[in-house]
């Protein structure tokens, strides 16, 4: 069996001109060799486009409840749109794609089929154009997670609505976002004690468990600048989707 080469993914990312309550971040990266990467848990869904050897592959990656290992094809350009928590694509609610991937058809002319219509495939520079068109067509909407129809909702009703919109419980969202923040702080050079104190972990063991479960890396690996490929870590906008 052929041994896989080490994969290093360097991410470029930017904020978007669209209201941050709809889209959180746009990113891109490129792989040169075939291998694997660690995909950290995430609370939001992504639209991902991959151009590889003359083919365009497009699909949705749902929220992920734990760190996983994912294959990386060689010579591939990736473009991703991270939608803010609470953003809903009506044809594929987040709750239906947790820990999953849904591919979209691509026409011979390279257009992406979403909701029965074909759309021009976006680039890193013009992603906003597609997002606005999906929004204007009523396919992409932002739900206000704190609102319910019933004037005096029960706690269970609120929890059920939250999970229906995001695919996750509030507790899961908090734990995943906190682990992501911890990993980011460690990569920025913070000591594990500072991370524990600032983010409210009980102790080093509690932090270590969260990193293994949600990030797939140890604190030491993150602090040492482990160059093995992993998904992009970044801080979410506060209040997104609320």
Higher pLDDT, 8 or 90: 90
**CA separation, residue 55 to residues 76, 97, 105, 109 (Å):** 10, 24, 12, 11
Q: List the structure tokens of 50.
A: 């991959």
Task: Give the tens place of pLDDT for each residue, 103-139.
Answer: 999 999 999 999 999 999 999 999 999 999 999 999 9
Indicate the pTM of the whole model.
Answer: 0.88
Domain residues for the domain of 144 are 1-242
Report yes or no: 72 and 52 within 8 Å, Cβ to Cβ. Answer: no
Question: What CA–CA distance (Å, rounded) separates 106 from 101?
Answer: 16
- The predicted pLDDT at position 236 comes to 54
The whole-chain average pLDDT of the chain stands at 88
- The predicted pLDDT at position 157 comes to 87
Question: What CA–CA distance (Å, rounded) separates 60 from 45?
Answer: 7
Question: What CA–CA distance (Å, rounded) separates 89 from 22?
Answer: 11
Report yes or no: 213 and 66 within 8 Å, Cβ to Cβ. Answer: yes
Nearest one of 70, 72, 53 to 7, comparing CA atoms: 72
Nearest one of 44, 161, 172 to 97, comparing CA atoms: 44
Report yes or no: 123 and 110 within 8 Å, Cβ to Cβ. Answer: no
Count of the separate structural domains present in the chain: 1
Of the pLDDT bands very low, low, confident and very high (cuts 50, 70, 90), residue 5 is low
- The predicted pLDDT at position 26 comes to 95
Question: What CA–CA distance (Å, rounded) separates 195 from 220?
Answer: 13
What Rg value do the Cα atoms of the chain yield, rounded?
19
């Amino acid at each position: 069996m052929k041994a896989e080469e080490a994969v290093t993914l360097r991410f470029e990312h930017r904020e978007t001109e669209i209201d941050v309550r709809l889209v959180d971040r746009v990113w891109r990266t490129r792989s040169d060799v075939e291998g694997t990467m660690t995909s950290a848990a995430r609370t939001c869904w992504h639209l991902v486009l991959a151009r590889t050897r003359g083919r365009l592959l497009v699909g949705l990656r749902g929220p992920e409840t734990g760190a996983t290992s994912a294959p990386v094809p060689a010579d591939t350009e990736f473009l991703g749109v991270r939608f803010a928590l609470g953003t809903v694509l009506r044809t594929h609610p987040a709750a239906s794609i947790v820990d999953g991937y849904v591919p979209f058809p691509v026409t011979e002319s390279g257009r992406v089929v979403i909701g029965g219509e074909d759309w021009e495939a976006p680039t890193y520079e013009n992603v906003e154009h597609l997002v606005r068109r999906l929004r204007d067509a009523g396919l992409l909407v932002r739900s206000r997670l704190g609102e319910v129809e019933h004037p005096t909702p029960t706690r269970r009703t609120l929890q059920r609505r939250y999970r229906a919109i995001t695919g996750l419980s509030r507790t899961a969202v908090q734990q995943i976002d906190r682990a992501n923040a911890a990993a980011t702080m460690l990569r920025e050079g913070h000591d594990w004690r500072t991370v524990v104190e600032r983010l409210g972990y009980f102790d080093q063991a509690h932090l270590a468990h969260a990193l293994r479960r949600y990030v797939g890396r140890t604190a030491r690996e993150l602090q040492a600048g482990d160059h093995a490929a992993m998904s992009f870590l970044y801080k979410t906008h506060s209040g997104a989707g609320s």
